[in-house]
Structures are given as C-alpha cells and as structure tokens.
Amino acid sequence: MFSKPSPANVLPRAIAAAVPEARWRPGLAEQPFHSEVFAPASEASGAGLALALARDALAQVGAQTPGEDARHVLWVQDRAAIRLGGRPCLAGLPPDWRRRLLHVAAATPEDALFALEEGLKCRDLACVIGEIAGNPRAFSFTASRRLSLTAERHGVRLWLVRLDATPDLSSARMRWQVRAAPSLHPRWNAAAPGTASWHAELFRARTHAPDEWMICDDSGTLRIRRDPDTDVAATPDIIRLARPTVGRSLAARAHA
Amino acid sequence: MLLADARALCPDLVAVPADPAGDLAALEKLAVWAQRWGPWSALDPPDGVLVDVTGVAHLFGGEEALLADVAQAFARRGLATRAALAPTAGAAWALAHFGPPGAILHPFRAGEEHMLRHLGDLPVAALRLDDDVLTVLRRLGIKRLGELAGVSGADDPAREAAARDALRRRFRNHRSPAANPLLRLDQLLGKVPEPLLPVIARPMPMVQRRLMEPLRHRDLLDRVVEDLAHDMVRALEARGEGARRLELALWRVDGEALTRRIELAAATREASHITRLFAARLDDVEAGFGIEMVQLRASWSEPLALSQADLDAAAEDHGTALAACIDRLTVRLGPKAVTRPVARASHIPERAQTWQLPLAPVPSGQAAHTFNIRPLKLLERAEPIAVLYASPDGVPQRFRWRGEVREVTRVEGPERIAPEWWCERSTARLRDYYRIEDETGRRYWIFRQGLLGDGRGGVPDWFLHGLYA
C-alpha cells in the first residue's frame, strides 16, 4: 500500500522481531491512549472502526469500575471532514452512546487540534474521537506528540480518524489502516448488507506485532472474523426483536 | 374590526404587532424607576404603577408639587400619565382612572363619609371589577359608587340594611376581590387591607476599576481583568450565584467603549476560569491612547450553592470540568461549534435530529424505532448520484458517486419515507431508501426521490445520503 516504508513503519517491526510481543486482539486489558485510524473518505469505515475500538476499550476499562458509564464522548470534526464524510447520525449510533455524544464542528484543522487537546484535558469525558481530513500543515509530528502527552497525562483516550491521509510522522501508539470489507451475511436475508466488517491493518504499534485482520462489529462487540464464507453473524439478526424483558409472558422469556 | 377592514377604510394605517411580554417588562422597569417618589412600588398591569408615598410628599414640597413632578418626569420621557394621590391604593386607582386630572384626596380629612362624598360620583368601574360583575351591577341599576354604598336610596335604616344584605348574599360566593364589589368598596374605603406585591430591583453584579493611568499594554490589562474576576467572584459568592454571561466593558480615553461578552455553559464562580476565557477574547482590543476604566458585569446569573473546594491540590490540576472545557471551546470556536445531537419526531432523516447546546437538558421523546438500521454518518446534504437500474422503480445495479463507478452487489429496500405533507409543498416527492453494499464492501444509504409517473416531476433523481460503518 505504501511505496516506501517510512522509519516509523520499520522501527516497530525491528523491535517486534527482537522482543516477541503479544499479538493484538479485541478485549485486551491494556489499551493505548492515542490511536490513529487511516481510512478513505468515501466510506465510514474509519469512524466505524474508531467507534468500535473505543467501545471495546471503554468496556475493558469500565469492567473494573462498577456502575454504568454516563460520561460524555467528544467527537471533533474539521470542516473538510464534515464535507467529505458527513456528521454523525444519532439513530445510527449505538443506543447507549446516543445521549452521551458531544459534537464539535471546527472550521480549520488548527481549531480541531485545539478542541482535541481541550477534550483530552477534560476529566469528565469518557474518550475523544477526532476526524481530520488530509495531511494539514498544522498537524505535524509536534502536534501529534502534544496530543499523545496530553492523553497520557490526563488519562483520556483519543482515537483520531485520518481521512484520505498519507501516514506521515506521528507519535500515536497504535496506527491502523482500514478499509471496508464485504459484510457478513445476515441470517434472514442473504441479499442484504450485513454487520459492518473491515479489513484492518495494524501497521505500527508500540506493544503489538503488526498484522492484518478482518474485523467485524458484531452487535456491538468487536471480534476478529474467521473464514469469510463460513462465518455468519453470531446473533440471529442485527435487530433483536425478542428481548429478555421483565414482565412479559413466560413464552416470550423462554424464547428469548 | 379586523385589520383588513380597518386597512380598507384607512390605507395609511400603521400596524404594530402586540408584545405583551415586552410591555410587562417595560412596566416592571417603570415601576422600579418610579421608586424615586417613594420607597415601594407595585405593578398594576397592563398600564399602571402604584407607588407608596406615605410620609414622602414634604420632600417634594407637598402633594401638589409631587404630582407635578410626576407629570413632568413622565412628560420628559414622552409618556402621557394620569396621576392621583389618595389614602388607599383603591381610591388612588379610582381617581387616576375616572377622577379629574391631578386629583388629591387628603388623608387627614379622610373619614369614610368624606371619601364617599368625593368618590361617590365615580362609576362602579372605578372599583377594578371584572366585566361580568360590571354587567351584573348595571342590570341591578347600580351605576355609581355612592349608589353601591347607600344601595336602597332611601333614608330608612331597616330597608337599607335589608338591601345591603341582599347584595351581600348575591356576591357571597365571590371570593376574589375583582369579582366582589362590596369587598372592593371596603378596600377603597380602607376598611379591609389590600396586599400588593412590591417590585424589588435586583441590580446585576457589577465590579469596576477606574485606573489612575490609562492602560496601553496587554499584560497590565490582563492583571486588571484578573483583579476584576476576583472581585466578581466575591460579589457572586455574596449572592450565592454563579455567572452564566459576563460582559467586560473597556472605556478608552477618547470616550469609546469596547465590550467583550462570554457565555458560560454552566454557572461558574471561578476566577481563573473567567480570566482565561477573557484572555482569549482580548487579543484584538485596540487600546488607542489608553484604557481608563474597566467594568465587568454578570448580566445573567444563576443560583450556585457554595461547595467544598477540593481538599487536595492534586485533584485541581488533574484536568478540567466538562463545563469549563465547553466554555473554552465555545470561546475559541464560536457558540455554534459545540453542540449535541438530539432526536426529533420526524421520519425525514435530516429532520430527525437537531443540534442543541451541549449542556441544555435533552427533551424527552418517544424511543426511536429499532427495526430500521440507520447509517453511522449522514452527509450534510444528500449528494446526487447517477444510477443504472433494471427498471425505473427497481433496485439500483450500478452508480457513480464522486467520479467513481461502483457495482452494487447487495441491496435491501426500499424503505419508503413519505413527505411530511403538513409542512411541505404539495410537490414534495416521497423517498425510497435503499441500503446497498458495493463490490468492495462499502455500505451506503441511497434514495430515489419520487416515482415515475407520480405527477410531481419527471424521471426521479437518485441521491446518496448516508455512509454505513
């Protein structure tokens, strides 16, 4: 995908060869504070993977603390990103995130970086998701280093989606390259598009060996997809019409 | 008369829309201003103000001079008034509305007979009664206050008492003073107390610094603003409030005033936060020959209870609160940049969500349908695409978007969303939404606007509206 390997690309591979490290998988306890997801702007796979990774990380962190996480999530977009990929749609978000989303529409990449940094400094935010289009001059290595340091100092995690960007120098702890992959076949209508799945390549990570996966977001949980032909969605359908609710008839509960 | 009829009679008619809330606010201000004549004033909507001038008149040189001063002060502001002075609020109201201009009822002579002699000729409407009560009184033949007081019209005390009893029984169940003429009459004569709701001015918290030497440098101005922020915090703390909007006014030597205004996402009383927000807004201040006065006002404040400050300093420097973060973003990026999406009751996707202020309460609504899968991202404006289809009302096979041709491999649809006829033009076309996936797995939400032959246009257009994750 890249014509010449950048130093940022080669170095972690060398380290990984020297020291055998754990392979990445969903549901790891240690989650990075600053990740970048490179994605084409003509699809929402970048935002989708960032969202899935963020939910995965928050689920692992939230498993240690009791109670439901009601903290807000800051979603920062610059104007070019909004023009290319649109704004987040409330009805398409996971249900528990619909009341928690705060959106920042920044005019310029500089403003977006400012908003990202202010969001990372805020102790009341669960995480920050950013979308920046292209390789703006303001988003230099220094700027990404600032974001990394702020995120690690204040303990707020950042997933930055880079739309139509070339992977230049960055201090992000994990860097992904993602593109859409043919979705899983839904059980009831094979002709319909199914659960979101992506072809994700982890090409630079401090603690994991680089690799490629087919990842799918199966009813809110991130998992690695196996053989595309035999793998079907784990849930009967994306829409669960029969839910285990209290107070309904025994038949419905037994069915659920 | 309808406005159209009136315009037909007089084409030059100028119509001004009614503004009852604005009128009431103006009347409140007027009532506060009228406290120059007495320590205490009350509203009398829609167009009156009552001022308590007990023991005040000698300061103006007597009652006549007081009324003359009132008339002059209002005339200077272009307002026509009718003022009257009386021992009770009811009597003053009656005289002001129905008495001679500048009427004064002297309190030292004010026995009941004396008051009735002066006020007996006024119509019963002077008692501040409701319209239906006035109708009842007119049907009973009672037109003047004197007739209500001596209702039988005869000198026989027994007949008088009987007639008064009958009247009292007639209005026995009317508890509200405005519906009971006898109660109103007693209030007018001072036999029954009449509680009034006073208007009390609440000055907005304001702190200012007059400077000995005009300021021309930024760091000095920053220090003055910091001092003002500390003063403001103390002023707010004394009232148990926090500021929601702050206005900083800078007076230059040449008389020009510059203002900077910030709005805060939540009530705050933190000097360092206020200083920091203003520091971002003071970069473009043109000091000229110097700034000689700086004033900080909290034009909107909300109750904010005193709270225990963090005991350990470590919690202070660990990050900012959400409201402070939003304030910083809003001050730099503008008030519309930071928003949160909220659902609205609409089926049209772009109308199904609006953006509101981040910390405003979310309006409650019905839960959304869960059987429709909506895209993660919605384009700001649906982008037109060129579509190749087998039949005009069938599923798309191939489409071109942003200069790239994509093959459609999987389709679900259509999901038909009809136009909202109650708020749209009659020519608005329905939309048939399809969820599609192309050969590389990219998932989109596209729609066809209209049907062929629905009589609302020609061949329907196709648009791409959303992107699935």
- How many structural domains does chain A have? 1
pLDDT of residue A235: 46
Residues 6+ apart with CB under 8 A from A165: A38, A132, A133, A134, A135
Residue B317 has pLDDT above 70, yes or no: no
Which of B189, B219, B245 is at the close of a domain? B189
pLDDT of residue B432: 92
pLDDT band, very low/low/confident/very high, at B102 (cuts 50, 70, 90) = confident
- Distance (Å, whole) CA A192 – CA B374: 14
Nearest alpha carbon to residue A57 among A155, A194, A144: A155
Residue A20 has pLDDT above 50, yes or no: no
DSSP-based three-state secondary structure for B335: coil
- Shortest CA distance from B381: residue in chain A: A86
> Do residues B171 and B223 share a domain?
no
pLDDT of residue A256: 44
> Do residues B178 and B252 share a domain?
no
- How many structural domains does chain B have? 3
Task: Locate A144 and state its tokens.
Answer: 């990404």
H helix or E strand, kind and range, residue B94: helix B89-98
Residue A213 in any domain: the answer is no
Which residues of chain B neighbour A122 with C-beta distances below 8 Å? Answer: 319-322, 324-325
- Distance (Å, whole) CA B212 – CA B29: 34
| Min distance B236 CA to chain A CA atoms (Å) | 25
Residue A216 has pLDDT above 80, yes or no: yes
Is B412–A189 a contact, with Cβ atoms under 8 angstroms apart?
yes
pLDDT of residue A236: 45
Residue A80 in any domain: the answer is yes
Is A103–B412 a contact, with Cβ atoms under 8 angstroms apart?
no
Is B442–A45 a contact, with Cβ atoms under 8 angstroms apart?
yes
- Distance (Å, whole) CA B317 – CA A26: 33
A99 touching B, CB under 8 A?
A: yes
Is B404–A42 a contact, with Cβ atoms under 8 angstroms apart?
yes
- Distance (Å, whole) CA B462 – CA B345: 25
- Distance (Å, whole) CA B345 – CA B422: 14
pLDDT of residue A245: 54
What CATH number is attached to the domain comprising B231? 3.30.1490.100
Residue B365 has pLDDT above 70, yes or no: yes
- Shortest CA distance from A183: residue in chain B: B441
Least CB–CB distance from A101: residue in B328, B340, B468 = B340
Is B339–A105 a contact, with Cβ atoms under 8 angstroms apart?
yes
Identify the domain containing residue A147 by its residue range: 27-208
Residue B160 in any domain: the answer is yes
Residue B366 in any domain: the answer is no
Exposure letters B387-424 (e unless 16+ CB within 10 A, then b): beeeeeeebbeebebeeeebebebbbbbbebebeeeee
A115 touching B, CB under 8 A?
A: yes
What CATH number is attached to the domain comprising A54? 3.40.50.300
pLDDT band, very low/low/confident/very high, at A1 (cuts 50, 70, 90) = very low
| Min distance A206 CA to chain B CA atoms (Å) | 26
Site of tokens 């990050």: B319
| Strands (DSSP E) found in B328-442 | 338-343, 353-356, 377-389, 396-401, 404-417, 431-438
ipTM strictly over 0.90?
no
> Do residues B43 and B184 share a domain?
yes
Query: Alpha-carbon dihedral of residues B57, B58, B61, B65, nearest 10 degrees?
Result: 10
Helices (H), B126-171: 131-140, 145-149, 157-170
Residue B349 has pLDDT above 60, yes or no: yes
User: Looking at this protein, which amino acid is placed at residue B376?
Assistant: L
Residue B374 has pLDDT above 60, yes or no: yes
A119 touching B, CB under 8 A?
A: yes
Angle (deg, nearest 10), helices B271-281 and B218-239: 140
- Shortest CA distance from A191: residue in chain B: B410
> Do residues B229 and B173 share a domain?
no
**Average pLDDT in the A128-144 region?**
94
Nearest alpha carbon to residue B90 among B174, B180, B182, B185: B185
> Do residues B388 and B446 share a domain?
yes
pLDDT of residue A177: 95
Residue A226 in any domain: the answer is no
Strand partners, B169: none
Residue B335 has pLDDT above 90, yes or no: no
- Distance (Å, whole) CA B53 – CA B48: 16
Identify the domain containing residue B50 by its residue range: 26-189
Residue B349 in any domain: the answer is no
- Hey, how many other C-beta atoms are within 10 angstroms of the C-beta on A116? 25
pLDDT of residue A229: 56
Residue B370 in any domain: the answer is no
Strand partners, B206: B297
- Hey, how many other C-beta atoms are within 10 angstroms of the C-beta on A48? 28
Which residues of chain B neighbour A103 with C-beta distances below 8 Å? Answer: 338-341, 355
Suggest the residue from A53, A56, A82, A90 to mutate for an interface test with chain B (most B CBs closer than 10 A): A90
HEC sequence for chain A = CCCCCCHHHHHHHHHHHHCCCCCCCCCCCCCCCEEEEEECCCCCHHHHHHHHHHHHHHHHHHCCCCCCCCCEEEEEEEHHHHHHHCEECHHHCCHHHCCCEEEEEECCHHHHHHHHHHHHHECCEEEEEEEEECCCCCCCHHHHHHHHHHHHHHCCEEEEEEECCCCCCCCCCEEEEEEECCCCECCCCCCCCCCCEEEEEEEEECCCCCEEEEEEEECCEEEECCCCCCCECCCCCCCCCCCCCCCCCHHHHHHC
Nearest alpha carbon to residue A116 among A154, A160, A72, A149: A160
Least CB–CB distance from A111: residue in B319, B333, B368 = B333
- Distance (Å, whole) CA A52 – CA A49: 5
pLDDT band, very low/low/confident/very high, at B119 (cuts 50, 70, 90) = confident
pLDDT band, very low/low/confident/very high, at B315 (cuts 50, 70, 90) = low
> Do residues B277 and B383 share a domain?
no
**Average pLDDT in the A28-38 region?**
90
Average pLDDT over all residues of chain B: 88
> Do residues B324 and B386 share a domain?
no
Could you say which DSSP state residue B39 is in?
Answer: S
CA atoms within 13 A on the CB side of B135: 3
Nearest alpha carbon to residue B205 among B247, B261, B257, B250: B247
Residue B428 in any domain: the answer is yes
> Do residues B423 and B388 share a domain?
yes
Residue B352 in any domain: the answer is no
pLDDT of residue B103: 87
- Distance (Å, whole) CA A66 – CA A246: 23
Which residues of chain A neighbour B341 with C-beta distances below 8 Å? Answer: 87-88, 90, 98, 101, 103
Residue A242 in any domain: the answer is no
pLDDT of residue B152: 55
Which residues of chain B neighbour A49 with C-beta distances below 8 Å? Answer: 469
Give backbone dihedrals phi and psi of A157, rounded to 5 degrees, phi first: -90, 150
- Hey, how many other C-beta atoms are within 10 angstroms of the C-beta on B21? 8
Give backbone dihedrals phi and psi of B380, rounded to 5 degrees, phi first: -60, -35
Site of tokens 């996971």: A94
In chain A, the largest separation of any two C-alpha atoms, in whole Å, equals 63
Q: What percent of chain B has pLDDT over 70?
A: 96
Angle (deg, nearest 10), helices B181-189 and B112-119: 120
Q: Which of A115-129, A172-186, B99-113, B251-265 has the lowest mean pLDDT?
A: B99-113
pLDDT band, very low/low/confident/very high, at A79 (cuts 50, 70, 90) = very high
**Average pLDDT in the B45-71 region?**
91
- Distance (Å, whole) CA A35 – CA A203: 12
Which residues of chain A neighbour B266 with C-beta distances below 8 Å? Answer: none
Which of B164, B189, B214 is at the close of a domain? B189
DSSP-based three-state secondary structure for B273: helix
Q: Which of A71-80, A161-170, B149-158, B339-348 has the lowest mean pLDDT?
A: B149-158
Residues 6+ apart with CB under 8 A from B274: B229, B232, B233, B243, B246, B268
pLDDT of residue B154: 58
Residue B365 in any domain: the answer is no
- Distance (Å, whole) CA B84 – CA B102: 5
A positions 2-41 inside 8 Å of B (CB): none
- Distance (Å, whole) CA A139 – CA A116: 12
Residue B421 has pLDDT above 70, yes or no: yes
A214 touching B, CB under 8 A?
A: no
Could you say which DSSP state residue B104 is in?
Answer: B
Residue A214 in any domain: the answer is no
Nearest alpha carbon to residue B186 among B155, B145, B152, B137: B145
- Shortest CA distance from A39: residue in chain B: B469
Residue B322 in any domain: the answer is yes
Contact (Cβ atoms closer than 8 angstroms) between residue B443 and residue B435: yes
In tens, the pLDDT along A218-244 reads 777 888 887 655 555 544 454 555 555
In tens, the pLDDT along B163-212 reads 778 888 888 888 888 888 888 888 888 888 988 899 988 889 999 999 99
